[in-house]
Amino acid sequence: MQTKLSPRFEQFIREKQYVTNVSLCTLRWYRQALRWFPSERPTQPELQEMVIRMREKGLKETAVNSYITCFNSYLHWDTGTERSCGAGCSHPHLKKLKAPQNVMPTFTEAQVGLLVKWRPQGRYDRRLHTLMLLLLDTGCRISEALALCVNNIDFDNLLVTLDGKGRKQRIVPFSVDLRRALYHHIKEIDLGPYDRAFGTSRGTLWDRHNVINWVKRSCRELGFEPPARTLHAFRHTFAVNYLRRGGGTFHLQKSLGHSTLDMTRRYANLTTDDLTAVHSKVSLLRAF
């Protein structure tokens, strides 16, 4: 059971829940973020000190920036104004930290081959295998995969309806190979139309931390070390290979469920091998 925050924080969360209608995942994120606040109405120096404290505790720039989005949302809401936050606002405000633009980790082609060709023996390993195939074939977020219900899978038209961020649904295609795996998985466990496709044995939501441990264990049993940010690496692997095999950035944006094309471009960074292969074809030095 979650400990209550201060009355002002609780009011902010209530309005976000019942007026703005944000998702339960976002509400949990608000609660987690606001526990860092020194008071209900912190000063600018107090906010800066809070960020220093977060960094001293070991939080990465990306994690702090995620929290800063929540902090600024609360600080603007606390003014009581109805207009959007902008240049005319005088309330305390935090700028996001400059985060390193690292190349996002992916599974190699050989590793993807090992995962796809894996033939697990146990029932729970087969469930995990089907989940990994879904992540590789659709590029969906792990939260979308774990929340997926059977009735959102259209086996006839090879389409799956995903509940994305911000309560935005999208429909994405999947392959005949994934259809086969999903069909056998659902039949083996005898799932009903309103059951979660990848729920626990009791039908509850499969904890993503348990999924991470299972995936990492399976990767090591197959003979390779899992990439960093293992679950998200499935999504980035899908994106890179989508472009590598001729898919367009606009269609990739729709598949991934991004609200802007800029977000998709971050996923679209080609690997060093791709750049090397292209450079060997376009180098002016090779023309002479």
For residue range 51-91, list pLDDT tens digits in order: 999 999 999 998 999 999 999 999 999 999 888 888 788 89
User: 98: buried, middle or exposed (CB in 10 Å: 19+, 13-18, 0-12)?
Assistant: exposed
Residue 79 phi/psi, 5-degree rounding, is: -75, -20
Copy the structure tokens of residue 174: 């999947």
Q: Which helix (H) or strand (E) holds 143?
A: helix 142-147
* Cα(46)–Cα(53) distance, integer angstroms: 10
Say what the pTM is: 0.78
DSSP 8-state class, residue 286:
G
For residue range 111-139, list pLDDT tens digits in order: 999 999 999 999 999 999 999 999 999 99
At residue 19, the pLDDT reads 92
The CATH number fitting domain 109-272, selected from 1.10.443.10, 3.40.50.970, 3.40.50.720, 2.60.40.1730: 1.10.443.10
Domain boundary assignment for the chain: 7-77, 109-272
Q: Look-up: residue for tokens 């899992």?
A: 226
Average pLDDT of the chain is 89
Q: Look-up: residue for tokens 């995903």?
A: 162
At residue 257, the pLDDT reads 87
* Cα(129)–Cα(113) distance, integer angstroms: 13
**What's the longest Cα–Cα distance across the chain?**
73
At residue 69, the pLDDT reads 93
Q: Look-up: residue for tokens 């791709």?
A: 274
Mean pLDDT across 182-196: 95
